[in-house]
Chain A
Amino acid sequence: MSGKGSLFSRLMWRMSIVLAISAAGLITAAWFYARAAADEAYDRLLLGSAFQMTESLTVRDGELQFELPASAFELLGLAESDRIFYRVIAPGGKTLTGYTDLDTGADIDASRKQPRFADGSYKGEDIRTVTIARALSLPQGVGWANVIVAQTVESRRALASELTVRATVLVAVMSLLALGGAALAVRYSLAPVARLGEALSRREPQDLTPLDVSVPAELSPFVSSINHFITRLSERMQLMQRYIADSAHQIRTPLTALNAQVSLIDEDQLPPEGRRHLERVRRRAAELARFTNQLLNHAMVIHRFDSVHLTPVALNDVARKAFRAAIPITVDPDLVVSFEASEEALYVTGDELSLREAIVNIIDNALRHGASARLDVKVWRDGDFGVVEVSDDGAGIPEAEWSNVLKRFHSSQSDGAASGLGFAIAAEVAGALKGGLRFRTKSETAPFAIQIALPLSSAPIEKGDAS
Chain B
Amino acid sequence: MRLSASLATLALWFTTLGPAGALEGAREIFPAPGPEAGRLVIHAATDLDAMRPLIEDFQQMAPGVTIEFVEYVTNDLFRQAQEACTGAVESGDILLSSSVDQLVRLANDGCAQPHRSTETLTVPSWANWRNEIFGFTFEPVVFVYDRRSVPPEDVPRSHEALADLLRRKPDAYRGRIGTYDIEASGVGYLLAFHDSRQAPTTYGRLIESLSRSDTVTRCCNSEVLGETAAGNVRIAYNVLGSYAYAAARANPALAIVVPQDYALVLSRGAMIPNNAPRPQIGKEFLNYLLSPRGRRVARERAFFFDEGEPLPEGVDGPESLMESGIGRPIRIGPALLAAQDAIQRSHFIADWKRLIPRR
- A residues with a Cβ closer than 8 A to B are 66-74, 76-77, 80-85, 88, 96-98, 123-125
Chain B residue contacts of A80, Cβ below 8 A: 125, 129-130, 333
Which among B107, B334, B339, B341 is the interface contact of A77 at CB below 8 angstroms? B334
Instruction: Report how far A68 CA is from B339 CA in the complex, Å.
Output: 8
Identify 13 residue pairs between A and B in the complex whose beta-carbon atoms are under 8 Å apart, listed by A's number: A68-B344, A70-B338, A73-B336, A77-B335, A80-B125, A80-B129, A80-B333, A84-B108, A84-B334, A84-B337, A97-B342, A97-B343, A125-B110
Structural contact, A68 and B338, CB atoms closer than 8 A: yes
Best-buried of B333, B335, B344 by chain A (most CB within 10 Å): B335
Residue of B nearest to A98 (CB): B341
B335 touches A73 (CB 8 A): yes
Q: A80-B333, A124-B110 known; A73 and B343 CB under 8 Å?
A: no
Q: Please, what's the 1-or-0 string for B104-138, where 1 marks a CB less than 8 Å from any CB in chain A?
A: 00011110000000000000010001100000000
A83-B107, A85-B108, A123-B109 are contacts. A70–B343 as well, Cβ < 8 Å?
no
Docked Cα-Cα span, A71 to B339, in Å, equals 11
Which B residues are in CB contact (< 8 Å) with A98?
Answer: 341-342
Tell yes or no: B27 within 8 A of A by CB.
no
Minimum-distance CB pairs A-B, first 3? A97-B343, A70-B338, A68-B341
Interface residues of B in 327-359 (CB under 8 A from A): 331, 333-339, 341-344, 347
Taking CB atoms, residues of chain B closer than 8 Å to A74 are 333-335
Task: For residue A369, give the distance in angstroms from its CB to the closest CB of chain B.
Answer: 103
Q: Bound state CA distance, A418 and B149, in angstroms?
A: 152
* Cβ of B184 to closest chain A Cβ, rounded Å: 22
Q: Is the CB of B347 within 8 A of A67?
A: yes
Min distance, Cβ A51 to any Cβ of chain B, angstroms: 15
**A456–B333 alpha-carbon span in the complex (Å):** 94
B2 at the interface (CB under 8 A from A): no
Q: Does the CB pair B334–A76 fall under 8 Å?
A: yes
| Residues of chain A with a CB closer than 8 A to B339's CB | 70
Cα distance, A80 to B109, chains bound together (Å): 16
* Partner of A83 from B110, B125, B335, B347 at Cβ < 8 Å: B110
CB-CB contacts below 8 Å: B193-232 with A? 197
| B residues near A69, Cβ cutoff 8 Å | 338
In the complex, A69→B130 CA distance in Å? 22
Alpha-carbon distance A442/B69, docked complex (angstroms) = 118
Q: A83-B108, A123-B109 are in contact. List 16 more A-B contacts (CB 8 A).
A: A72-B338, A73-B334, A73-B337, A73-B338, A77-B334, A80-B130, A80-B333, A82-B334, A83-B107, A83-B110, A83-B130, A83-B334, A84-B108, A123-B110, A124-B110, A125-B110
Residues on A with C-beta less than 8 A from B130 are 80-81, 83
Distance in angstroms between the alpha carbons of A124 and B111 in the assembled complex: 12
Asked whether A97 lies within 8 Å of B341 as measured between CB atoms, the reply is yes
Task: Return chain B residues, CB-CB under 8 Å to A97.
Answer: 341-344
User: What is the bound-complex CA distance between A125 and B107, given in angstroms?
Assistant: 13
How far apart are A82's CB and chain B's nearest CB, in angstroms? 8
Known A96-B343, A97-B341, A97-B344; contact A70-B197, beta-carbon cutoff 8 A:
yes
B282 shortest CB reach to chain A, Å: 21
Q: Which of A69, A73, A98, A124 has the most CB of B within 10 A?
A: A73
Contacts of B347 in A (CB 8 A): 67
Collect the chain B residues with CB atoms within 8 Å of residue A85's CB: 108
Within 8 A of A (CB), among B19-57: none
Q: Which residues in A have their C-beta under 8 angstroms from that of B334? A: 73-74, 76-77, 82-84
**Nearest A residue (CB) for B348:** A67
Q: Determine the distance from Cα of A124 to Cα of B110 in the docked complex, in whole angstroms.
A: 9
Residues of A within 8 A of B336 (CB): 73
How far is the CB of B157 from the nearest CB of chain A, in Å? 27
Report the nearest A residue to B346, measured CB to CB: A97
Q: Interface centre among B125, B334, B335, B338, by most A CB within 10 Å?
A: B334
Once bound together, how far apart are the Cα atoms of A393 and B112, in whole Å? Answer: 114
B165 to chain A, nearest CB (A): 29
Q: Which residues of chain B have C-beta atoms less than 8 A from A123's C-beta?
A: 109-110
State the CA gap A84–B341 with chains docked (Å).
12
> Complex: how many Å from CA A32 to CA B344?
39
Output the residue of A72, A84, A85 with the most chain B CB within 10 A.
A84
Chain A CB count within 10 A is highest, among B125, B129, B197, B337, for B337
